[in-house]
Amino acid sequence: MGSKFFPALVEAIAQSLDVRWVFLSRPSEREPSKANTLAVWNDGPAANMSYDLAGSPCAEIIGDGACCYSSDVQRLFPDDVLLSEMGAESYVGIPLRASTGDVIGLIAALDDKTIDDSEVAREILAMFAGRAAAEIERLETASANERMGRIVEDSVSEAFVFDGDDYTFELVNRGARDNLGFSLKELRELTPWNIKPEYSETQFRDFVKPLKAGKVPYLEFETIHQRKDGSHYNVSVRLQYFGGTDNVFFASIYDITERKMAEERERLLMREVNHRAKNLLSIIQVIARQTVASRPESYIARFEDRIAALAASYDLLVENPKAGVRLRSLIRAQLGHFDHLFDKRISIDGPTVHLNAAAAQSVGMALHELATNGAKYGALSNDEGCVSIDWRLVDGQDDAQMLELTWVESGGPPVSTPDRKGFGSTVIDSAVRSTTRGHVALDYEPSGLTFKLTAPLSALSIKYRSAEDGGPAEDVQ
């Protein structure tokens, strides 16, 4: 069997027919016009080779079936260079057919003398052909199975095979073992409900009953897997059942943790869009009220200017230049609808700091919420209140530079701690803290709201230059 079978076969044929040459060949998959030998006999074992089928007796075997030329074969096939080089006089060949009937190879016997009884020679070749074809097919199937096994084993996707009766795992590929943290030996003592905490044994057996009964071809569902260390991850499962003598389930599983995180980010974004839209309308109402209250005669022009400034605050966030967003520019953009209050009731002071995209987004969201809150209830809701926005660089632990950003309101209506924590407070607190790896403090002093962010500069800044150190002053346009 195996690789030793084919050399033994051509030797046995050469002895049975008393011929000099025997080829056992297969058509080339990459070059259909050529054949590759699996074994060669040339008065003894010989090296394998590749040869052209066109113009040779082999071409007729591949196409039409067995053929016999008891003599004068070179004259009959003058274009076959190999026959001429060998000095062949006679040729007998027979195709090898797979169980499907397809031709998968051929056996050819050649000699430098006449073959006396070509029909007997063909019958002898036919005796060997079935066994040769079966071995080629067996090896081809085994090779395909081994290759598929290697691919499944090395796949980053998870693959499980478990028993159809007791549901214990039989085979688990490397991707699953690595993700779960179990060895194959450990997994063979477990079942699907041991790694799927959402299912009990009864629930899982009931869940797969339609599949096992043949009512559905497969089941697709999403669940969670529990690792050896107790942590969880989201998965998408496609489960099949192979009955009969196999009696196993096969599960192909994909880790969808990143997709779930993306979906959660999308939900948060949609909530933020909805929240911002409502805040935007509130700000427009404040702008409209304050604009008409101060100078009614120029209402339309000033109202349009402030709406344009509000739109500009959104443009800055989506531009996200590679060099980062300057903190001063970000503040002015987020408070653009209060541009008439800069250097009067709103002061801004601090060195040049460039924020990366994530920090610019979260800090910008916080500034937006602070400005909205200030316009609704705080220092920007009347004609006397002021807001001071300052930031500085300080040394933290291990000499790491930290950014301290403060928002201090004064002169507005008395402030009190809100009864509940709204979405805006969540953005100011949780989103900023998680993105900047910093500390956030919100103090609702009666004299005015105070916000303070202290975060490592390395987590939120691409680069910075301090004007005090001789760097160019920040462009505040």
Q: Which helix (H) or strand (E) holds 223?
A: strand 219-226
What percent of the chain is modeled with pLDDT above 90?
A: 36
Question: Which pLDDT score, from 0 to 100, does residue 389 have?
Answer: 96
**Contact (Cβ atoms closer than 8 angstroms) between residue 466 and residue 351:** yes
Buried b (16+ CB within 10 A) or exposed e, 307-332: bebbeebbebbeeeeeebbbbbbbbb
Non-local (6+) Cβ contacts of 388 within 8 A are: 346, 347, 349, 406, 407, 408, 410
Q: How far apart are CA 432 and CA 184, in angstroms?
A: 43
pLDDT of residue 477: 31
Is residue 470 left, alpha or beta, with left meaning phi > 0 and alpha meaning psi from -120 to 50?
left
Read off the pLDDT band of 291 (50, 70, 90): low
Domain ranges of the chain: 2-153, 155-255, 264-469
pLDDT digits (tens, 9 = 90+) for 222-264: 999 999 999 999 999 999 999 988 899 999 998 888 888 888 7
User: DSSP for 277-302?
Assistant: HHHHHHHHHHHHHHHHHH-GGGHHHH
Tell me how crowded residue 386 is: count the other CB atoms within 10 A of its CB: 17
Domain 2-153 superfamily per CATH = GAF domain (3.30.450.40)
**What number does CATH give the domain 264-469?**
3.30.565.10
Query: What pLDDT is stored for residue 462 in this prediction?
Result: 60
Determine the pLDDT at residue 165. Answer: 94
In this model, does residue 76 exceed pLDDT 80?
Answer: yes
Assess whether the region 2-153 and the region 155-255 belong to the same CATH fold: yes
How many C-beta neighbours within 10 Å does residue 264 have?
10
Residue 193 has a pLDDT of 96
Q: What is the pTM of this model?
A: 0.41
State how far the Cα of 435 lies from the Cα of 456, in Å rounded to an integer.
11
When comparing pLDDT for 192 and 273, which is higher? 192
* 3-class secondary structure, 401: strand
Strand pairing category for 346-349 and 386-395: parallel
Contacts of residue 336, Cβ cutoff 8 Å, sequence gap at least 6: 309, 310, 312, 313
Give the tens place of pLDDT for each residue, 345-399.
Answer: 999 999 988 888 778 777 887 888 888 888 888 999 998 999 999 999 998 877 7
**Do 170 and 200 meet the contact criterion of CB atoms below 8 Å apart?**
no
Q: What six digits make up the tokens of 379?
A: 């220092």
Q: 3-class DSSP state for residue 309?
A: helix
- Secondary structure (3-state) at 335: coil
Percent helix, strand and coil across the chain, each to the nearest 5? 45, 25, 25
The topology (CATH level 3) of 155-255 is: Beta-Lactamase (3.30.450)
